Amino acid sequence: MQVSKIAVMGFGVVGSGTVELFYKNRELIEQRCARKMDIKYILDLRDFPGSPFEDKFIKDFSIIENDPEIKVAAELMGGVTFAYDYTKRLLSRGVSVVTSNKELVARHGAELIKLAKANRCNYFFEASVGGGIPIIRPLHQCLAANRIERIAGILNGTTNYILTKMVYDQLPFDQALAEAQRLGYAERDPSADIDGADACRKLCILGSLAFGKHIYPEYVHCSGIRNIALDDLEYVANAGYSVKLIGLIEKTEKGLVATVCPRLVSVSNPLSGVNDVYNAIMIRGDSVGDTLFYGRGAGKQATASAVVADIIDAVKHENADIASLTWEDSADRSFMVPYKSADVRVYVRVSSHDADSLKGLITTLFGYVDFIPRKHRSESELAFITPAIEEYMIDKKLAILSEHADIMRKIRLL
């Protein structure tokens, strides 16, 4: 029997996890794939003396590119320079590429998928969103009969860990972040996670798949969790909410609206119970209603699970593009509308020398408002939730309110 030979490019966390998982479950994988498989090359510029895979390491990409035995490669290098170049060169030669590189897919997905189709091979990226959670295939294959109306997800494990830590251990943001860094959940420079860029890339991939147009990161309003205070978490808990960093893309009458920002999530919503480093993605289809996918959104083994699943699919379909996954790339971005044109409810916390006297003004501005009680609430503070109004209007009303009080926080509701 012919043996399918695979190249793994990048031997970092995900790359080494992929190689280890492949050899651990090789027999099972070959059985499910109905053919023999082996990893022929591992591309990495570093040396790994004593590695059990020592004979497979190479430093020169052209060896992979020029080996006709290689029909499937896993790009686990990250970044958008070499990874982009290598992926294009492989796909142009009809070599399928699977990847966990969310940045590259969010940036160049439409082009790379098109290139794969043109060369009768596949570009798969199950591992780019939600780590090991099956989400890309369920979205474009299992829900293919649906018009997708909305995707709302907890797409970043680091921020979810920090928010969980803040609530359960009453740690302020800085301490919770430090704890996440100590455990290796957050990078030394944590900005890509906590300011939302990582979640944004994943949302772009899901949105592009669901709505058929390339959603670039620039189309998404993005704000992170740096400003969330323990006081806010206490208020919102009293009103029956938790705070999560939510990637949200939604079809409105005016067009698509996409945001990554902290949001109040009602405890009756399954997303509100998703804690620690777990991710969850809720997809609403016109026929299926709400479905939710939950699991470890990151980590060596979970991500490797998705990469190897893609490798299996790519090997099974060498020389045939099977993916219905595709989206258009267009300079016209009129299908997106500004997020502030969408109706939204917001939580507001204000401070003033006599906050209670503001209640009348707030009610005049917003109509019926939920004021949130809190034990030992200072008299100088007031928190409330507005009804659903266009966000432009909310901001106008808050501008008026700010003449009489200090607006300390504004958090949207999901």
313 binds its own copies (CB under 8 A): yes
Contact region with its own copies (CB under 8 A), list: 82-90, 213-221, 312-320, 392-400 = 312-320
Q: Which of 151, 245, 308, 385 binds its own copies (CB under 8 A)?
A: 308
Residues found in the chain: 414
User: Contact, 327 vs 209, CB < 8 A?
Assistant: yes
Q: Which is nearer to its own copies, 30 or 44 (CB)?
A: 30
Residue 158 CA to residue 182 CA, distance in Å, equals 12
Q: Which of 137, 150, 226, 374 binds its own copies (CB under 8 A)?
A: 137
Whole-number Å distance between alpha carbons of 249 and 284: 11
By CB under 8 A, residue 240 contacts its own copies:
no
**Residue 63 C-beta: closest distance to its own copies, Å:** 26
Is there binding between residue 134 and its own copies (CB under 8 A)? yes
Cβ proximity to its own copies: between 70 and 306 the closer is: 306
Q: How far is the CB of 364 from its own copies (least distance, A)?
A: 37
Determine phi and psi for 203, rounding to 5 degrees. -60, -40
Which x/- pattern over 267-306 shows residues binding its own copies (rule: CB under 8 A)?
A: ---x--xx-----x----xxxxxxxxxxxx--x-xx-xxx
Name the minimum Å distance from CB 335 to its own copies.
16
Q: How many residues bind its own copies (CB under 8 A)?
A: 53
Q: How far is the CB of 358 from its own copies (least distance, A)?
A: 37
Q: Which is nearer to its own copies, 276 or 390 (CB)?
A: 276
Q: How far is CA 343 from CA 207, 268, 393, in A?
A: 20, 21, 9
In angstroms, the CA 150 to CA 152 distance is 7
How far apart are CB 7 and its own copies at their closest, in Å? 17
Distance in angstroms (rounded) separating the CA atoms of residues 208 and 139: 11
User: Helical H runs in 183-229?
Assistant: 191-194, 197-211
* Residue 144 or 400 with smaller CB distance to its own copies: 144
Distance CA 78, CA 101 (A): 5
Q: Are 139 and 280 in contact (CB under 8 A)?
A: no
> Measuring CA to CA, which residue among 346, 363, 364, 344 is closest to residue 407?
346
Binder of its own copies out of 109, 132, 196, 224 (CB under 8 A): 132
AA letter at 379: E
C-alpha 361/C-alpha 62 separation (Å) is 69
Rounded distance, CA 52 to CA 394, Å? 60
Q: How far is the CB of 308 from its own copies (least distance, A)?
A: 3
Q: Is residue 83 within 8 Å of 109, Cβ to Cβ?
A: no
Q: Judged by CB under 8 A, does residue 128 bind its own copies?
A: no
Q: Which is nearer to its own copies, 120 or 353 (CB)?
A: 120
In the bound state with its own copies, the residue whose beta carbon lies nearer, of 288 and 400, is: 288
Q: Could you tell me if 167 and 216 are in contact, meaning their C-beta atoms sit under 8 angstroms apart?
A: no
Binders in 180-219 for its own copies, by CB under 8 A = none
Which residue from 7, 9, 19, 29 is in contact with its own copies, where contact means CB under 8 A? 29
Helix or strand or coil: residue 94?
coil
CB 294 within 8 A of CB 278: yes
| 59 vs 147 by CB, closer to its own copies | 147
Q: Does 312 bind its own copies (CB under 8 A)?
A: yes
Between CA 42 and CA 249 the distance in angstroms is 37
Q: In this chain, which of 75, 126, 195, 381 binds its own copies, going by CB under 8 A?
A: 126
DSSP state of 60: -
Q: Of the candidates 118, 144, 388, 399, which one interacts with its own copies according to CB under 8 A?
A: 144
Q: CB of 109: closest distance to its own copies in angstroms? A: 17
Task: Show which residues are catalytic.
Answer: 202
Query: In the numeric block, which tokens belong to residue 20?
Result: 């280890």
Q: Distance of CA 335 to CAs 55, 145, 219, 305, 342, Å?
A: 51, 22, 10, 35, 14
Q: Which residues contact its own copies (rule: CB under 8 A)? A: 21-22, 24-25, 28-29, 32-34, 126, 132-134, 137-138, 140-147, 270, 273-274, 280, 285-296, 299, 301-302, 304-306, 308-309, 311-313, 316, 322, 324
